[in-house]
Chain A
């Protein structure tokens, strides 16, 4: 038996220099952020275009069209067909893809540095003359319908769709994925009309990080995207409805070997003075491996593999989510422990040591996340969409440093109390419903 040894202390922390961001608004209204981050000879590209979904009856058709628009944006322009675009991207050593959510259309890509002019030229062509060819749109539409069926065969996707619907009612955030029927109704003309109505440089932000000269890269963007001059009527997502704890919903998945537990609620935005407290409360609850929820239902009881909670930031209202997939036979006991840990966050102060550990984790992992080209590009792009700049990387650790035990208790009471969260479960109703009812009021579907 070997004896315990003394752990080495941490050395003095070397604070990384804040990246220098060249921030330019071009003549067409596009904002360009450029950062030189040598290392590998690559450039990371992110473009966010405002793309708010409408609410009410126009919501579902929009989501279907937006999803298909993103899937077929690279299927042709007035000068290149789908294959040529793919050939050119490979030749440049590049990749580029588009995606949408209820707030924005996003492009993500990367390219060998020498290929940046070519990638920007292609991007400009896509933004100004994507053609949505009939054959490609129809093929992609059929593929999307099948892909949606595959997505919806996952318990996690079923739970998320139901949770969004329950939390957001008739707000656009209620629709997470389009229905097959809405997708089947989409025609190329809808995509061209949506493109023309919504894709414009004003309000959009392009972020470039990598082995570049920021001035030269910005000039390349100005040249390649000079023809992108569309002007559109801005659409703003309405504020998300206030989150009140709604009755738990159990969705039947006959024969399921696990029950998928999901919880959703509101959270403060990055600009909110209570944000840092909420982040630390989240870490202590379930936001990292060294959290109470993981210690309890995984490392003590073995009910689950990876319980996790987190905060994300849709612009119309930030959101707290928590999820665990637990063995069917221990569903109610796992819920009991979850409610206990949530209630503890809301009513009992955390230990100072627990808070300090979470704080060091939050500060340290911020540095890790910005240490790669892709990580820095992603974070700067996200921050810009919240109206925040690179200075946030300096301010946020300071805010984390100031959070007290009392602050975390206040955040716990406000955001983590079981009474303000909406639960959705997916599992074998015949096996788990009765025991769940001993703990919570339950609707079934």
Chain B
């Protein structure tokens, strides 16, 4: 039986409703009665790039502090109320935003909104709780970076090679010295400056009645005083004008790896940016992708290959500047330059010979399928809508993205590939350095 492409019935039609409170808080609602669960996501427009010098890791530390108590809640009560209603919750810190979310049975929707409003109104901090969470974060860094092979590779290690400003290059997990230097006053001023209602988007998806949610949001968030909010700062910086290379040693890693990073165009221009998102998949998604076929199946020089946009791997949740990244793990007896040369050849071949419509279509078909799978759970929908609303003012992109991906042309992918040159990139080699501890 021949394998034919399915008809492109990719258009999603989730209802999207939005509102804004007088204090500036933006609300997005995605009602869907097909399940009895709800996701609530709160996005604050501040991330690792906004940390001041001497306070690396502060945005993430502050995320931890948001679980340590607020006006009506004691330490960790946020967890006990959500989990005690049958829900799950977490928060995470990214380069341009910090999010907090709950997924719960829909009978706990108002409770979740109350809890988020309570800590948006005021965070209640003590020195004991700050000291405790500095220790917890240090253990998070130990388990995820220091005691793990390839721990910060490449997400903490390549920014200093690709970028130049403090905002873009510093370690967003934080140095232990900076973490220990953090004070309660730092936390209060960070909260005052960045956790204002006008700097946040609340998204609610799932088994909800929008009018009821609107009333609850007005009731619980409405009296949080408005505070001045500065527009998102620009972190733009010049492109590289020559190749930059660096090497890191990893005492735990048994085999080498190399990361190659270029700059993409400003993600704000979605039409100009999406061809790069497709290009990353053309190069690295599956055995039929250019680099996997070349390096894994043909040359057998690599053991794994990844290609993605954004330092943290999500192409659609970061502003300018943002990287296009290739990450190749290779055998110890293969030189990094052999891998890099093969990558260059494949990019040259793509630019010179082009690619077929069929190759782009099948690549996009799987990208669309993967995207649908991400937004099927209510949490995936709430988080996508929130970040689209916050960074692009357009939660409706949740529905439109599959069509936008499908409209990327072969010419656009080739043009994107032509900008991945040898003289405008950063290369980071990771070399094993075992037995030197």
A interface residues, Cβ below 8 angstroms from B: 1-8, 10-16, 38-42, 74, 82-83, 85-95, 110-115, 117-118, 121-122, 136, 139, 142-143, 146-147, 149-150, 152-155, 254-258, 260, 288-290, 295, 298-306, 325-327, 356-357, 360-365, 367-368, 371-375
Indicate the size class of the contact surface on chain B: 35 or more
Residues of A close to B372: CB separation below 8 A:
40-42, 112
Q: How far is the CB of A43 from chain B (nearest CB, A)?
A: 10
User: What are 14 A-B pairs at a CB distance below 8 A?
Assistant: A2-B122, A14-B107, A39-B34, A74-B287, A91-B365, A112-B369, A146-B303, A150-B149, A255-B437, A257-B147, A305-B142, A368-B86, A373-B376, A374-B376
Question: Which residue of the partner chain A has the closest CB to B300?
Answer: A139
Provide the bound-state CA to CA distance between A295 and B9, in Å.
49
Q: A90-B363, A153-B252, A374-B376 are in contact. Are A14 and B36 (CB under 8 A)?
A: yes
Contact between chains at A5 and B9 (CB < 8 Å): no
Residues of B close to A374: CB separation below 8 A:
373, 376-377
Question: Which residue of the partner chain B has the closest CB to A142?
Answer: B300
Residues of B close to A306: CB separation below 8 A:
140, 143
B236 within 8 A of A: no
Residues of B close to A356: CB separation below 8 A:
84
B5 within 8 A of A: yes
B149's partner among A6, A122, A154, A305 (CB-CB below 8 A) is A154
A290's partner among B7, B79, B142 (CB-CB below 8 A) is B79
B interface residues, Cβ below 8 angstroms from A: 1, 3-7, 9, 12, 34-37, 71-72, 75-76, 79-81, 83-89, 103-111, 114, 118, 121-122, 131-140, 142-144, 146-150, 207, 216, 251-255, 285-289, 293, 296-297, 300, 303-304, 329, 331, 358, 361-363, 365-366, 368-370, 372-373, 375-378, 437
Contact between chains at A302 and B71 (CB < 8 Å): no
Provide the bound-state CA to CA distance between A254 and B251, in Å.
11
Question: Which residue of the partner chain A has the closest CB to B90?
Answer: A289
Contact between chains at B104 and A258 (CB < 8 Å): no
Contact between chains at B373 and A86 (CB < 8 Å): no
Contact between chains at A325 and B114 (CB < 8 Å): no
Contact between chains at A365 and B369 (CB < 8 Å): no
Q: How far is the CB of A336 from chain B (nearest CB, A)?
A: 17
Q: How far is the CB of A362 from chain B (nearest CB, A)?
A: 8
A304's partner among B79, B118, B139, B373 (CB-CB below 8 A) is B139
Q: A88-B3, A257-B146 are in contact. Are A110 and B86 (CB under 8 A)?
A: no
Contact between chains at B36 and A83 (CB < 8 Å): no
Q: How far is the CB of B75 from chain A (nearest CB, A)?
A: 7
Contact between chains at B86 and A367 (CB < 8 Å): yes
Provide the bound-state CA to CA distance between A428 and B5, in Å.
55
Provide the bound-state CA to CA distance between A95 and B365, in Å.
11
A40's partner among B12, B37, B111, B207 (CB-CB below 8 A) is B12
Contact between chains at B286 and A86 (CB < 8 Å): yes
Q: How far is the CB of A276 from chain B (nearest CB, A)?
A: 15
